Amino acid sequence: MMRVLVACEYSGTVRDAFIRAGHDALSCDLLPTDSPGPHYQGDVRDILADGWDLMIAHPPCTHLAVSGARWFKDKQVEQAEALDFVRMLLDAPIPRIALENPVSIISSRIRKPDQIIQPYEHGHEATKTTCLWLKGLPHLVPTALVGKGARHVTKSGKSLPEWYNLPPSPDRWKIRSATFPGIATAMASQWGALA
Ligand SMILES: C[S@@+](CC[C@H](N)C(=O)[O-])C[C@H]1O[C@@H](n2cnc3c(N)ncnc32)[C@H](O)[C@@H]1O
């Protein structure tokens, strides 16, 4: 059994996958958890040194994602802070760490990701290019290869995955940023099995 910290997770998806696999897992977010379960609502920095075996971290990508590049010149302070937060998580005193983010300036400003994964490698007919920065962990092995899913062309001619195409709403960012359950299950079964 591992002690697993799931940092920056309000959905409980990765936390619950580890709990189902028999581990002692806690999610942590500034927000309350959306699904009841072990959760620390507060700053992850408060609990980083509490003796974890593994941390899966989902830091905010708002100021880092390359998809927002056209706003970069207006937000250099926010960007520097977001990069410091990522560095702090990658340097946490935890032997095994996976940090997840979309295609982002972490690659150019800190280091290249160790792996790029997709939901369609884990049973979901969807694309969401997800980079993983790994410490003490092997690459995640695809568990169920399926089709890449439909795409949608916006009025301005941009091609987006169909699942990403949602009308504006207060919860849209949550739906877009939630981890796909097939990826959470793969993390728990493969990384939770390490001695
Ligand atoms: C992109 S979302 C991650 C969503 C995640 N994939 C999920 O399924 O819940 C990033 C989260 O980081 C949280 N966050 C930002 N700073 C934090 C901090 N210092 N400590 C804990 N959580 C933080 C935010 O509240 C936000 O919910």
pLDDT score for 16:
98
Q: Which residue has the tokens 């699942």?
A: 163
Nearest CA to ligand 1 atom 14: 8
Listed as ranges, residues in the chain with pLDDT below 70 are 72, 195
pLDDT score for 158:
84
The model scores a pTM over 0.85: yes
Nearest CA to ligand 1 atom 5: 9
The CA–CA distances, whole Å, from 59 to 28, 42, 87, 149, 181 equal 11, 14, 11, 26, 18
Rounded Cα distance between 190 and 113, Å, is: 19
Is the beta carbon of 178 within 6 A of some atom in ligand 1?
yes
Q: 95's torsion region: left (phi>0), alpha (psi -120 to 50) or beta? A: alpha
Rounded Cα distance between 109 and 122, Å, is: 29
Is the beta carbon of 65 within 6 A of some atom in ligand 1?
no
3-state secondary structure of 101: strand
pLDDT score for 67:
77
Rounded Cα distance between 12 and 188, Å, is: 13
3-state helix, strand, coil in the chain (%, to 5): 30, 20, 45
pLDDT score for 19:
98
pLDDT score for 85:
98
pLDDT score for 155:
83
